[in-house]
Amino acid sequence: MNHEEPKTVGDTPGPRRLPLWVVAAAFLALAGFLALIAWGLRRAQQGPIVIGQEVPAFSVTTFDGEAYHTAEMRGKVIVLNFWASWCTPCEAEAAELEQAWQLYRERGDVVFLGVDYVDTEPEARAYLEKFAISYPNGPDLRTTISQLFRIRGVPETYIIDREGRLAYQKIGPFTSLSEIQAAVESVLN
Amino acid sequence: MDKSVWSNQKRRAVWAAGWVLLLLMAAAWGAVGQVSAQSEPPTDDDVNAVAKELYCPVCENIPLDVCGTQACAQWRDLIREKLAEGWTREQIEEYFALHYGDRVLAEPPRRGLNWLVYVLPLATLLVGGVIVAQTLRRTRRKPAAPAAAAAEVDPAADPYLAEIEKELRQRPE
C-alpha cells in the first residue's frame, strides 16, 4: 500500500533566513558608509580659517623649485597672496605688493609668499616678469593651499602672525601700498 | 635528407619569416604614428576631445571645451601644447589632476575612496536584486500553502463542518 503522510500547513518549509553574520556584516558596512558620509559632510561644511585661528602647516614650492615650509617660519610674519595670471584685479595690486616686499625684505622677520591659483606656468612666469615680482612664488599644486584657506577667488591675501595664527585677511585687491603697509604693521605690532 | 625533416625545416622558416614580417609592420606602423603625431598640429576637435573631460575649478560645472574664461583658454592652450608633444589623453588628464587636483576630472580617478563611486552602485544593485528575488520567491510560495491546506481538509471528517452542512440543508429556502 502506498502510504503517504498528509501534509499540513505547519510542515511547509519557512522562508530561508540570511545567516546572522551576513546581516551583521551588512549593518557594519552600512554604518561604515554612513560614517564616511558624515566625515565628508563635516569636512565640506568646515568654514574658512578665521582670524586668531592657527593656520595648519603647508608648503609652497616655487617655480624655481625652492620649498618654503610654514612650519619652519614660526617667529616670522607671513604675507600670503593668492593670484593668477588670468586675474585682472590681481594686476592692480601686483606692483604694490612688490614695493611692500622691498620695504620689508631687509628686516628678515616678514616673508612674502605668492601662491599661483589654477594657472599655467608659462603665463604665470610671464606675469611675474611683467611686474618684476621678486618674492617667492609657486603654483598651488592640487589646489591644496587655496582649499585650506577656502578662498573664494583671486586676489586674496592672508597675513599669518609670528605664532602661526591668522591675523589679517583681505578679499580682493589692495588699493595702495599704504594699505598693505598698514596691514603688515598691524600684525607686526 | 629525409623528406619530413626538410618539410619541418621549411615550415619553421615560413613561420619565422611571418613573425619577422609582422614585427617589421608593427615597427613601421609605430614610426608612422609618431611621425604623424609630431608633424600634424592638433586640431580644435582634438583639443576639445580632451577638454570636455576636464573642468576648471574657477568656473564650476562648465566643461573646459565650452568654458569662455581666460583661465580655460589658457588650459586649452596647454592641452594643445601637450598634444603637440605627443602626450596621450590619459597623460594629460593625469597632469591636470596632479597640478590642479582630482576635482578637475569629469570622472573621479579609480583610486582610494573614489572606488566607492564605482563599486557602491553595483553592490547596491546586486544586493537589491538578491532581496527582490528572495521576496518574489517567498510571495510565490505563500499562496500555494493555503490551497494545499484546503485540499487536505475533508468536510465529512470534520464533525463541526458536518454539523454546519447539516444545518444549512435544513434551513428553509
Each residue's pLDDT expressed in tens, for chain B with a length of 173 residues? 566 666 777 777 777 777 777 777 767 665 544 544 445 899 999 999 999 999 988 887 899 999 999 999 999 999 999 999 999 999 999 999 999 999 999 998 888 888 888 998 999 999 899 999 988 998 887 765 555 555 566 667 788 888 888 888 888 76
Q: Where are the domains of chain A?
A: 18-47, 59-188
For domain A59-188, the CATH architecture is 3-Layer(aba) Sandwich (3.40)
- Determine contact, residues B98/B85, Cβ cutoff 8 Å: no
Nearest to B75 among A6, A9, A120 (CB): A120
Give the nearest chain A residue to B131 (CA atoms): A18
CB atoms within 10 A of CB B159: 8
- Name which residue leads in pLDDT, B40 or A171: A171
The pLDDT of residue A1 is 44
Of A9, A141, A153, the CB nearest to B149: A9
Position A6 confidence tier, pLDDT thresholds 50, 70, 90? very low
Give the mean model confidence (pLDDT) for residues A31-42. 88
Residue A10 binned pLDDT confidence (cut-offs 50, 70, 90): very low
| Secondary structure class of A29 (helix, strand, coil) | helix
pLDDT score, position B151: 57
State the best of B58, B122, B142 to mutate against chain A, taking most chain A CBs within 10 Å: B58
Q: Is the pTM of this model over 0.90?
A: no
**Of A120 and B8, which is predicted with more confidence?**
A120
Q: Read off the C-alpha cell for A100.
A: 611692500
| CB within 8 Å of B63: residues ≥ 6 apart | B51, B52, B53, B54, B55, B106
Nearest chain B residue to A144, by CA: B101
Check A143 against B100: CB less than 8 A apart: yes
Nearest residue to B55 via CA among B117, B114, B102: B102
B70 contacts A86? CB cut-off 8 A:
yes
Does the ipTM exceed 0.85? no
Task: Determine the pLDDT at residue B35.
Answer: 44
Does residue A57 contact residue A71 with C-beta atoms inside 8 Å? yes
User: What is the count of residue pairs from A and B with beta carbons less than 8 Å apart?
Assistant: 55
- Tell me, what's the pLDDT at B36? 46
Q: How far is B141 from chain A (nearest CA, A)?
A: 9
Residue A120 above 60 pLDDT?
yes
Residue that is written with C-alpha cell 511547509 in the block: A12
Residue A35 has what pLDDT? 92
* A interface residues, B as partner, C-beta within 8 Å: 6-9, 12, 15-16, 26, 33, 36, 84-86, 118-120, 123, 139, 141-144, 147, 153
Contact assignment for A33 to B77 by CB distance below 8 Å: no
Average pLDDT, chain A: 91
Grid coordinates given for A90: 590681481
